[in-house]
Amino acid sequence: MPDHKKIEVSMVDEADCKAVWLINNDPEIRSMSFSQESIPYEDHIKWFQKKITDKNSKMYKFVSSNKIVGLVRLDVEKKQALVNIAVRHEFRGKGVGTEILRLTIILAKGLKLKTLLAEIKQTNKPSLKLFNKLGFFEKETILVNKEKVTKLELNV
């Protein structure tokens, strides 16, 4: 189990391309995403190149004992950002997500953002619990591909 006090955050860089693909292609992460098919590596490379050069997309890696334990992407629009969080499978349910989201809120303050947004499928109980726990409030429920999705917000 990673020691939460030793989780360090830095920006994702070119060298993390494959590690990000491996985390994002985890079947459980795909099933909780809006596009559920597994991602071919070639497609991922194109997406990744676009994202790391996009100034409105901030990708962070969270590292403990030289291992990436989780990722966060902030898709920024004006003073708001949509949060996308993923914890590596073997580190889930141990408080890593809580620590990563806590650090993300600090990063958002540093970026002078006003609001963090999340869009979470209602079937994704661990994620809803996590965002509620850190103070996000449920704003509305929408339907995406006939699935109920909760939109949450936090004023940072």
Ligand X SMILES: CC(C)(COP(=O)(O)OP(=O)(O)OC[C@H]1O[C@@H](n2cnc3c(N)ncnc32)[C@H](O)[C@@H]1OP(=O)(O)O)[C@@H](O)C(=O)NCCC(=O)NCCS
Residues in the site for ligand X, rule: CB under 6 A?
28-29, 32, 84-87, 92-98, 118, 120, 124-127, 129-130, 133
Nearer to ligand X, 48 or 96 (CB): 96
Nearer to ligand X, 32 or 63 (CB): 32
Nearer to ligand X, 42 or 93 (CB): 93
Q: Output DSSP code: residue 57.
A: E
Q: How far is the CB of 98 from ligand X (least distance, A)?
A: 3
Q: How far is the CB of 100 from ligand X (least distance, A)?
A: 7
Q: How far is the CB of 155 from ligand X (least distance, A)?
A: 18
Question: Collapsing DSSP states into helix, strand and coil, what is residue 146?
Answer: coil
Q: How far is the CB of 90 from ligand X (least distance, A)?
A: 10
Give residue number: closest CB to ligand X: 97
Tokens encoding 111:
């970026």
Residue 110 is inside which H or E element, if any?
A: helix 96-110
Cα–Cα distance between 105 and 129 in angstroms, integer? 16
Q: How far is the CB of 34 from ligand X (least distance, A)?
A: 10
**Torsion angle in degrees (nearest 10) through CA of 45, 49, 51, 56:** 180
Nearer to ligand X, 125 or 148 (CB): 125
Cα–Cα distance between 57 and 90 in angstroms, integer? 26
Cα–Cα distance between 109 and 144 in angstroms, integer? 30
Tokens encoding 74:
């902030």
Nearer to ligand X, 52 or 92 (CB): 92
